[in-house]
Structures are given as structure tokens and as C-alpha cells.
Copies of this chain bind each other. A is one copy, B any other.
Amino acid sequence: MDATTAPAARAWQTVLERIEDDLLEGRLTPGDRLPPERELAVRLGVGRSSVREALRVLEVLGLVRTGTGSGPTSGAIIIATPRGGMSALLRLQVAAHGFPLDDVVRTRLVLESAVVEAVAADPARSTDDAHAVLDAMDAADLTPGEFLALDAQLHLALAEASGNVVIAAMMAGLRTAIESYVQAGADRIADWEATAGRLRSEHAAILSAVDAGDAASARTLIHDHITGYYAEAGLART
């Protein structure tokens, strides 16, 4: 409730809360440099190792970027790139069985449906990036791994087209979390070329529906597209 006055039993939490508070109050914004670790330690009355533990957390969460040496790129710099942190969180939770694979897939369905609906409903949203990836996927000599990487890129491009960075970050993370399972699933598919061809045409159909502003069709198509692949790859529950 009141993080600013909480005692924060552990020293590294003190550092974390202090930085979060600076962020909230606008004393720190992306692009700013944090004081040197040694100075921060003295200023907050903790050891340098405690400062480092807090910075490590912030780094993994995508809030700071650290650099050695001197100059403007050195030191701990505030950034705001949530992709990495979201991916790490989801990936590890899936690995630790905190997030069942089925729930991850179902969440993808919810978010992707909302994405295509939003993009289809807003004529101002450009799907140029998605089309570019779609064209790249037409190359005939793609390995399954390359194809799936482009597939992830395509879905991400759609999410970004929706303009919602939270959803885009979550979708990137969800995809990363199940990346190894998707890859393993591809190996189980007997006729990969046939599947790839089907996925290509499904992608094209989805984009067409989105571009046409047909939100309802886009929802249905993306839903079937995703559930279809997971069923074929032997990842679906039912």
C-alpha cells in the first residue's frame, strides 16, 4: 500500500523502492543516468553489492541498461523496454510449471483476437510491416525454424499495429515462452511443406480480412489459425 514508507527489511529492496519512487515522481525518466554504483551505495547507506542486486533486477525487467567504460553510454541508464522482462518472466514461469502451456495458448488467443479486431476496426492502422513479413515468408527455401521465426515476427507486427504496447509486449513474451514447444511441435509434423503452405494462406486471409475492416472474420480466422497449428503440432489439450 505505502511503498515509500515501508521499512523494506532487505537492503536491495530499499534501493529498488528508491529508484521506483524516483521514477514515479519524475525525478528519473528514460535516458537519464543513474549515479555510479559506489555513490548510490553511500547515498542510500547500503553496500555496493546490494545496489548491484537491485540494478540486476531492473536490468532483467528492462528498466536499465548498464555499460562499462566511460562516456555517455556507460553507467546505468534508464530505459523502458518491457519485451525482455516480459519474455523472461513468462518463459521461466512456463519452465517452472507456474504457467500451464494451455493457458499460455488460450491467452494468446484472447490477445490476438483483440489485436486483429482493433486493427481491422481502425482504418488508420497500417499493416505494412505485417505485409512485408508476409512476403518474406513466401521464400521457398525456409527451414522450419526460419519460417516460425518469421511467423512470430508477423504476429508481433500485427500486435504493434494495434498501437497497444502492453499487448504487444505480452504477446512477444507469450510467444517466447512457448518458443521451444512450438519448435518441437514442428518436428512432429509429417508433411511440413503442406503445413507451411496452409499457414501462408491463412496469414494472407487474416491480413486481407484486417485490411478489409472485417473484424468478425479476422477474429475467426486468427482463432482457427492458432488452434489449428497447436492441434497439428500435438500441443493442444483437447
Contact of B167 with A96 in the complex, beta carbons under 8 Å: no
Contacts of A62 in B (CB 8 A): 89, 93, 98
Per the bound structure, the CA–CA distance linking A12 and B91 in Å amounts to 18
Q: Say whether A86 faces chain B, with CB atoms less than 8 Å apart.
A: yes
Kindly provide the distance from the CB of A119 to the nearest chain B CB, expressed in whole angstroms: 13
A166 partner, pick from B63, B99, B114, beta carbons under 8 A: B99
- State the copy count for this chain: 2
Give the one of A29, A62, A145 with max B CB within 10 A: A62
Which residues, 1 to 56 on A, are CB-close (under 8 Å) to B?
1, 12, 20, 23-24, 28-30, 49, 52-54, 56
A99 partner, pick from B82, B96, B114, beta carbons under 8 A: B82
Contacts of A60 in B (CB 8 A): 57, 60-61
A110 partner, pick from B12, B28, B103, B114, beta carbons under 8 A: B114
Contact of A107 with B30 in the complex, beta carbons under 8 Å: no
Per the bound structure, the CA–CA distance linking A58 and B53 in Å amounts to 11
Kindly provide the distance from the CB of A89 to the nearest chain B CB, expressed in whole angstroms: 5
A63 partner, pick from B56, B82, B96, B170, beta carbons under 8 A: B96
A23 partner, pick from B96, B106, B166, beta carbons under 8 A: B96
Known: A89-B82, A110-B114. A20 touches B95 (CB 8 A): yes
Give the one of A60, A88, A99, A164 with max B CB within 10 A: A60
A-B contact pairs, 20 of them (CB 8 A): A1-B145, A12-B56, A20-B91, A29-B96, A53-B56, A56-B57, A58-B92, A60-B60, A61-B88, A61-B93, A62-B89, A80-B98, A82-B89, A82-B98, A98-B165, A99-B169, A103-B164, A106-B166, A110-B114, A114-B114
| B-binding residues in A (CB < 8 A) | 1, 12, 20, 23-24, 28-30, 49, 52-54, 56-58, 60-63, 78-82, 85-86, 88-93, 95-100, 103-104, 106-107, 110-111, 114, 145, 163-167, 169-170, 174, 180
